[in-house]
A and B are shown apart, each in its own frame.
Chain A
Amino acid sequence: MKNSKKYPPLVALFPNSFKIWGVIVMLLAFGIMVFVRQMNFFSEGSKQMELVKLITKQSMLTGLFLVVFSKAREEDERTNQIRLYLFAAAFWFGIIQILLYPIITYFIPSENSEMSAFQLLFQMMLLIIILPWILHLIKRKIE
């Protein structure tokens, strides 16, 4: 059943099939990153290694983007509402992360005192994907 015409999503979304493509892109990017590191093709810090890191990071973000911004199998007003809640939760999470990160790194020194855009977007989109599962598991445990 496809209700996208009856219940238009609040934001522009890709078709449902893009979720699978997103997962494939993410897994491929992760696999390539691990493979290149394990095989020691390029030395750490070299220009080639930085290029591999850049491409795989961007590919992972693209994969997550495709998963998050594609329609559910059955779209209706409830899926719209759930999506709205998830986006709001991710936005809150992002703001709190940005506010707390410098304070945490002040006490626990880290390479970067500021959070990168990749880290932030990756965590926000990952939260949108895993939060429904976490809530579902909690609900099942309570019941």
Chain B
Amino acid sequence: MTNKIKSERAKMNITQQDLANRIGVSRQTINSIEANRYIPSTVLAIKISNLFNTTVNEIFQLEGDE
């Protein structure tokens, strides 16, 4: 699974820490999601997409055979 969190963050000009504070997780969690090391829960994915005023599908995409 890939995601566009980094580019969306850059558009909004917010840091990983800012994003983490706004959705109530740790900065390490945001870092892990951005690096595709951790797949967030549905709740967290919705929170992230809501924050960027877009849909979950816009932020998170499945890769290849997934």
Chain B minimum-CB-distance residue to A82: B38
Chain A minimum-CB-distance residue to B29: A78
Chain B interface residue count, Cβ-Cβ cutoff 8 angstroms: 12
Query: A44-81: which residues lie under 8 A (CB-CB) from chain B?
Result: 74, 76-79, 81
A interface list, Cβ under 8 A from B: 1, 3, 6-7, 74, 76-79, 81
Measured CB to CB, the closest approach of chain A to B62, in angstroms, equals 20
* CB-defined contacts of A79 to chain B, threshold 8 Å: 26
Considering the chains assembled together, what is the distance between the CA atoms of A76 and B24 in angstroms? 8
* CB-defined contacts of B51 to chain A, threshold 8 Å: none
Report yes or no: B21 in contact with A77, Cβ–Cβ below 8 A: no
Measured CB to CB, the closest approach of chain B to A94, in angstroms, equals 26
Among A7, A78, A81, find the residue whose CB has the most chain B CB atoms closer than 10 A.
Answer: A78
Report yes or no: B44 in contact with A77, Cβ–Cβ below 8 A: yes
The 7 A-B pairs of least Cβ separation, nearest first, read A74-B26, A76-B25, A78-B29, A6-B24, A77-B41, A3-B24, A76-B29
